Amino acid sequence: MALTLAEASKLSNDILLQGVIETIIKDSPVLQVMPFIEIVGNGLTYNRENGAPTAAFYDVGDTWGESTPTFTQLTATLKILGGDADVDNFLAATRSNIQDLEAAVIQLKAKAASHKFEDTFINGNATTNPKEFDGLDQLTSGAQTVSMGTNGDTLTLAKVDELIDKVRGGKPHILLMSRRSRRSLTTLQRALGSIEMSQDEFGNFVNLYNGVPVAINDWIADDKQVGTSGDCSTIYALQFGEGALCGLTSPGGLQVERVGSLETKDATRTRIKWYASLALFNSVACGRLIGVRE
């Protein structure tokens, strides 16, 4: 059964782990809603559906045709993400509140891990860097890509609608974009007087477009090259779930390990580590709009 990080943290009695998970997901709309499947081993081989079977009408006595869906077999390998948070023993001894210092250091390391996951979620390329998993730019097929034009163009609501229509089996769960693209979308909505809002579990207000939450990822570049234009961005429409876009993790998920005293320096270490990856089980669960200019 797939669980989000927030749901998984509720099953743990480790207060430190719960705090690290809350830090990681607080500013990440993807990690707030994307479920993770626990897998045993270092990877998962799965079949991605490419084409659906067909059906037809027949007369009595007709010869029936056979049609089966087509699949591509893929393997998603778990990658090691994490970092060490060291607390200097001198500072710990001279500070009035030791727990505050340790909590601050671990919180900063947890944010760094969250930022690295969000960056890889978009830009990861296991071919150029085998240490990381493939992100959306590698997983999204050409058939699921909508373009603003040969050299890009200013965002239009018609193109956003076309992007949403690329995702089948229900509406996307989020529209993921840069801050610049969100401003452009908000301007278009404001001109129509149709801005929708909701709140996430942390009380933050979230824009909606056609009922779909609009989410921000700060690692979606606004300087991508499309044709002759070098100021383009990308918007993603994503559907999450075990049969759609889903995270993969080792048993136990995110881990916080107290390494203890270090030999080479006067400090105490806590390690945050996560064996994780990404799997797209159905190509129509993800779409992207490229060439978005300001």
Same domain, 224 and 100: no
- Cα–Cα distance, 207 to 189 (Å, whole number): 10
Same domain, 183 and 218: yes
Domain of residue 19, CATH code: 3.30.2400.30
Same domain, 105 and 44: yes
Same domain, 92 and 210: no
pLDDT at 197: 81
- Is 108 a member of any domain? yes
Same domain, 23 and 82: yes
- Cα–Cα distance, 174 to 77 (Å, whole number): 25
- Is 154 a member of any domain? yes
- Is 288 a member of any domain? no
Token pair recorded at residue 182:
């969100």
- Cα–Cα distance, 185 to 159 (Å, whole number): 11
Same domain, 205 and 87: no
Identify which of 131, 126, 188, 139 has the alpha carbon closest to the alpha carbon of residue 159: 188
pLDDT at 98: 56
pLDDT at 76: 93
Number of domains into which the chain is organized: 2
Is the C-alpha dihedral spanning 216, 219, 223, 225 positive or negative? Answer: negative
Instruction: Residue 177: count other Cβ atoms within 10 Å of its Cβ.
Output: 26
- Is 59 a member of any domain? no
Tokens 């947890």 identify what position? Answer: 110
pLDDT at 90: 87
Identify which of 51, 29, 288, 35 has the alpha carbon closest to the alpha carbon of residue 167: 288
- Cα–Cα distance, 142 to 105 (Å, whole number): 42
Residue 224 in contact with residue 234, Cβ under 8 Å? yes
Domain-ending residue, one of 207, 238, 269: 238
- Is 217 a member of any domain? yes
DSSP letter string, 13-60: --HHHHHHHHHHHHT-HHHHH--EEE-SSSEEEEEEEEE--------T
- Cα–Cα distance, 229 to 94 (Å, whole number): 55
Same domain, 166 and 266: no
| CA-only gyration radius of the chain, Å | 22
Same domain, 24 and 110: yes
- Cα–Cα distance, 188 to 156 (Å, whole number): 8
Residue 83 in contact with residue 113, Cβ under 8 Å? yes
pLDDT at 290: 98
pLDDT at 3: 85
Tokens 């300087």 identify what position? Answer: 223
Same domain, 254 and 189: no
Domain-ending residue, one of 238, 254, 272: 238
Tokens 């626990």 identify what position? Answer: 38
- Is 287 a member of any domain? no
Tokens 């916080």 identify what position? Answer: 256
Same domain, 250 and 130: yes
- Cα–Cα distance, 258 to 276 (Å, whole number): 20
Counting as low any pLDDT under 50, the low residues of the chain are none
- Is 81 a member of any domain? yes
- Is 63 a member of any domain? no
Residue 166 in contact with residue 144, Cβ under 8 Å? yes
Is the C-alpha dihedral spanning 226, 185, 167, 5 positive or negative? Answer: positive
pLDDT at 232: 98
pTM: 0.89
Same domain, 176 and 234: yes
Q: Which domain holds residue 210?
A: 146-238
Residue 84 corresponds to which amino acid?
Answer: D
Same domain, 18 and 100: yes
